[in-house]
Amino acid sequence: MEWRQQAQRVHREAQVFYFAFKHPGVPWYAKLVAACSAGYLFSPIQLIPSFIPVIGFLDDFLVLFLGAKLIQRIIPSEVLTECRETARAADMRRKDEIRSPAAVVAVVVIAVIWISAAVSASVVMARYISR
């Protein structure tokens, strides 16, 4: 698998865990494991600080990996399957929304406004400096 497919797979699994976290059929201790795993990433106190090259991120990766494996074992398989289907449907809906004509028009309008604002600001600054 190339890295792009791996990244998409990780993103999909993150969505599955998000939907599982909100599912009423998931036990409270699975939600606690998920919250603690995610909380460790944002915590200012870590075993190995993140600013240390390579090693600082390895402990974060290890905590996420072990948390994900533990969550997969704790959550009932039928709930996990339902959450995978929900994530797949949400992904398809998002792709349809992105490709809609309104989204394309909105992107073009925002780009035109942004470029015209940048050009206008440049002209104003050039006139101000030339005085």
How far is residue 16's CA from residue 26's CA, in Å, rounded to a whole number?
12
**pLDDT value at position 107?**
87
Burial (0-12, 13-18, 19+ Cβ within 10 Å), 115: exposed
What's the predicted TM-score (pTM) here? 0.59
pLDDT at 99: 67
Low-confidence residues of the chain: pLDDT under 70: 1, 96-100
Residue 29: the pLDDT is 93
Place of tokens 């976290």: 21
